[in-house]
Amino acid sequence: MTPPPDLTAAWWPALRPPPRLSLSEWAEQHARLPDGSRFHPHPYQRAILDAMVDPEVERITVMKSARVGYTQMLSAAIGFFAAQQPSKIMVVQPTTEDAEDYSKDTIDPMREWPVLSAKLADAGAKNKADTIKRKTFPGGSLRVAGANSPRAFRRIDLDVILFDEIDGYPATAGVEGDQIALGVKRLVQSVRPMAVLGSTPTIEAASKIADSFAAGTMERFSLPCPQCGEYQPLIWGDGTGAGMRWRDNDPSTTHYVCVNGCVIPESAKLDMLAAGRWIAEAPDVVGHRSFHLWSAYCPLRGAAWPILVKEFLDAKQDREKLQVWTNTVRGECWVDRGEAPDWQRLYDRREDWDAGTVPAGGLFLTAGADVQRDRIEVSVWAFGRGKESWLIDHRVIPGDPFTEAPWRALAAMLGETFRHHHGVDLSISMLAIDAGDGVTMEVVKTWARTAGPKVMAIKGSSLAMAPILGLPAAAEVNYRGKKSLLDAANGNEPPGSGDLAATLKRFW
Domain co-membership, 309 together with 428 = no
Dump pLDDT digits (tens) for 390-406: 999 999 999 999 999 99
Question: Which is more confidently placed, 127 or 294?
Answer: 294
Domain co-membership, 105 together with 217 = yes
Average pLDDT of 457-474?
A: 67
Closest CA to 223 of 275, 295, 300, 289: 275
Show the DSSP H helices in 301-351 as ranges.
Answer: 305-315, 319-325, 343-348
Q: Residue 130: what pLDDT?
A: 78
Q: Residue 323: what pLDDT?
A: 95
Average pLDDT of 11-34?
A: 79
Q: Residue 495: what pLDDT?
A: 38
Q: How many CB atoms lie within 10 A of CB 126?
A: 10
Closest CA to 394 of 402, 384, 382, 408: 382
CATH code for the domain in which residue 214 is found: 3.40.50.300
Domain co-membership, 322 together with 368 = no
CA torsion through residues 151, 194, 198, 337, sign: positive
Tell me: pLDDT of 504 over 90. no
CA distance 78 to 72: 10
Say if 118 falls within a structural domain: yes
Provide the percentage of residues in the chain whose pLDDT is more than 70.
Answer: 82
Domain co-membership, 179 together with 102 = yes
CB 364 within 8 A of CB 503: yes
Q: Residue 441: what pLDDT?
A: 85
Dump pLDDT digits (tens) for 214-272: 999 999 999 999 999 999 999 999 888 899 999 999 999 999 999 999 999 999 999 99
CA 259 remoteness from chain centre: 29
Least confident of 245-249, 284-288, 291-295, 477-481: 477-481
Domain co-membership, 322 together with 379 = no
Greatest mean pLDDT among 234-243, 340-349, 436-445, 496-505: 234-243
Among residues 306, 340, 374, which one ends one of the domains?
Answer: 340
Q: Residue 345: what pLDDT?
A: 62
CA distance 426 to 357: 9
CATH code for the domain in which residue 387 is found: 3.30.420
Q: Residue 236: what pLDDT?
A: 97
Say if 5 falls within a structural domain: no
Domain co-membership, 487 together with 448 = yes
Say if 350 falls within a structural domain: no
Which helix (H) or strand (E) segment holds residue 7: the answer is helix 5-15
Q: Residue 498: what pLDDT?
A: 46
Annotate 472-501 with DSSP letters as a single string: PPTT-B-TTS-B-GGGGGGT-PPTT-HHHH
Q: Return mean pLDDT, the chain.
A: 86
Domain co-membership, 433 together with 495 = yes
Domain co-membership, 74 together with 109 = yes
Q: Which long-range contacts (CB under 8 A, 24 or more apart) does 31-40 make?
A: 31/72, 31/75, 31/76, 31/79, 31/113, 32/110, 32/112, 32/113, 33/72, 34/109, 36/112, 39/72, 39/76
Q: Residue 174: what pLDDT?
A: 65
Q: Residue 158: what pLDDT?
A: 96
pTM of the model: 0.66
CB 14 within 8 A of CB 42: no
Domain co-membership, 367 together with 315 = no
CB 31 within 8 A of CB 75: yes
Q: Residue 488: what pLDDT?
A: 37
Domain co-membership, 294 together with 421 = no
Dump pLDDT digits (tens) for 300-356: 999 999 999 999 999 999 999 999 999 999 999 998 765 555 665 666 677 777 888
CA torsion through residues 428, 429, 435, 437, sign: negative
Q: Residue 496: what pLDDT?
A: 41
Dump pLDDT digits (tens) for 110-149: 999 999 988 876 544 455 667 889 999 999 999 999 998 8
CA distance 25 to 85: 14
Domain co-membership, 311 together with 432 = no
Domain count, the chain: 2
Tell me: pLDDT of 14 over 60. no
Q: Residue 252: what pLDDT?
A: 96
Tell me: pLDDT of 501 over 50. no
Q: Could you give the 3-state DSSP secondary structure of residue 204?
A: coil
Average pLDDT of 276-303?
A: 97
CA torsion through residues 258, 259, 262, 263, sign: positive
**Contact residues for 32 (Cβ-Cβ < 8 A; gap 6+):** 38, 39, 110, 112, 113
Tell me: pLDDT of 486 over 60. no
Average pLDDT of 198-213?
A: 94
Say if 228 falls within a structural domain: yes
Domain co-membership, 150 together with 215 = yes
Among residues 293, 312, 340, which one ends one of the domains?
Answer: 340
Say if 25 falls within a structural domain: yes
Dump pLDDT digits (tens) for 178-201: 889 999 999 999 999 999 999 999
Domain span at residue 366 reads 357-460+467-507
